[in-house]
Every structure is written in C-alpha cells, then in structure tokens.
Amino acid sequence: MVRRDQITVVCQNGVVTLSGAVSTEEERRRAEFDAWALFAVDEVVNAIEVRAAP
C-alpha cells in the first residue's frame, strides 16, 4: 500500500526496521502491518514519519 521509494526496510535477526516518510498515519500503519506479515519476524521498529504532502 506504500510506494517502495517512500520507505527503507532493514531486516536483521528477526527485527524489521522501517524508516522514511509517508503522507498519512494510515500509510504508516499499513507499512508496519505488512512488515509483521513476513516470515520469522519477532519485532517491528516503525520509525516512519508522517509528513504533510507539499
């Protein structure tokens, strides 16, 4: 649901870290939800910022 050029995803030892910027809280939440759907994820760190579109 979120364009791949908006966020960066790093996976290490079962921890997925999300960073970048999106336009709405809903996009931020959906990116985190998608990360939890990956196999063998123990933790998701959602550092995505919500920024108003220019």
- Segment 9-50, tens digit of pLDDT: 999 999 999 999 999 999 999 999 999 998 999 999 999 999
Give domain status of residue 2, yes or no. Answer: no
Give domain status of residue 1, yes or no. Answer: no
Task: Report d(CA 17, CA 52) in Å as an integer.
Answer: 22
Total structural domains within the chain:
1
pTM of the model: 0.88
The DSSP symbol for 14 reads T
- The closest of 52, 37, 11, 54 to 27, measured between CA atoms, is 52
Quote the pLDDT of residue 3.
Answer: 79
Quote the pLDDT of residue 1.
Answer: 66
Quote the pLDDT of residue 52.
Answer: 79
Q: How far apart are the first and last CA of the chain?
A: 20
Domain holding 39, by residue range, is 7-50
Quote the pLDDT of residue 53.
Answer: 67
Quote the pLDDT of residue 54.
Answer: 63
Give domain status of residue 17, yes or no. Answer: yes
Give domain status of residue 20, yes or no. Answer: yes
